[in-house]
């Protein structure tokens, strides 16, 4: 797919370009971004160059990862990044970071909502997942604000810098945003979720 541009009330989401290298490098010096995401640490200019010049364009070209740089609609530096990645069986995963000085303004909630609409309406996603290492309270609060339902903890569900870590997992469905889905959805009864599978009748047991 050729890169597309998405807009929100305040922001513009578009493919990263070499001109964004210094912005990405500067933002990724933040210890919190290095701690909670899988970017290299320390983060050097060559990492930004490789990501912007090779990895991100390959994802768009191959349909495996769609990365957007985020800037204000009136222009200016890249203040955040978001990507849709790991497509499997109709499910995509969203990941994001925001430069420290631009947090707390609600930007990423706008961004995640925009890419969720893109995932459901353009990519045909059936489900959008969010994952974050247990303890990353900021990412969880943002995901919940964007409408994700936190479903639980995956043991050893996140590999970050050579260490397997437990992670929270949450989901967003098209219906959560008032959008149609291409497949009908049959939720499990609350009783089965709480207590596990019911015992099979005697003549069906093996």
Q: What is the 3-state secondary structure (H, E, C) of 141-190?
A: HHHHHCCCEEEEEEEEEEEECCEEEEEEEEEECHHHHCCCCCCCCCCCCH
Q: What does the pLDDT average to over 28-53?
A: 97
Residue 132 vs residue 205, higher pLDDT: 132
Q: In this predicted structure, what is the pLDDT of residue 190?
A: 78
CB atoms within 10 A of CB 134: 15
Q: What does the pLDDT average to over 44-66?
A: 97
Q: What is the mean pLDDT of the chain?
A: 93
Q: What does the pLDDT average to over 184-189?
A: 89
141-144 long-range contacts, Cβ below 8 Å, gap at least 24?
Answer: 142/96, 142/108, 142/109, 142/112, 143/112, 143/170, 144/170
> Any idea where the domains of the chain sit in the sequence?
6-183
What is the homologous superfamily of the domain 6-183 according to CATH? Gcn5-related N-acetyltransferase (GNAT) (3.40.630.30)
Say if residue 110's pLDDT is above 90.
yes
Q: Residue 194: pLDDT band by 50, 70, 90 thresholds?
A: low
């Amino acid at each position: 797919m050729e890169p597309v541009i998405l807009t929100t009330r305040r922001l513009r989401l578009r493919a990263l370009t070499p001109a964004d290298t210094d912005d990405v490098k500067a933002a990724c010096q933040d210890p919190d971004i290095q701690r909670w995401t899988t970017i290299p640490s320390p983060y050097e200019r060559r990492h930004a160059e490789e990501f912007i010049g090779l990895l991100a364009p390959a994802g768009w070209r191959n349909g495996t990862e769609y990365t957007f740089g985020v800037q204000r609609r009136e222009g200016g530096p890249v203040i955040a990044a978001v990507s849709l990645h790991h497509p499997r069986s109709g499910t995509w995963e969203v990941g994001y970071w925001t430069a420290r000085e631009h947090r707390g303004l609600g930007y990423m909630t706008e961004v995640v909502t925009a890419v969720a609409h893109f995932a459901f309406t353009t990519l045909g996603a059936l489900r959008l997942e969010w994952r974050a290492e247990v303890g990353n309270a900021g990412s969880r609060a943002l995901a919940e604000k964007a409408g994700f339902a936190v479903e639980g903890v995956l043991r050893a569900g996140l590999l970050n810098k050579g260490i397997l870590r437990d992670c929270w997992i949450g989901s967003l469905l098209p219906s959560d945003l008032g959008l149609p889905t291409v497949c009908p959805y049959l939720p499990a009864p609350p009783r089965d979720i709480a207590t596990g599978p019911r015992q099979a009748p005697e003549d069906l047991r093996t």
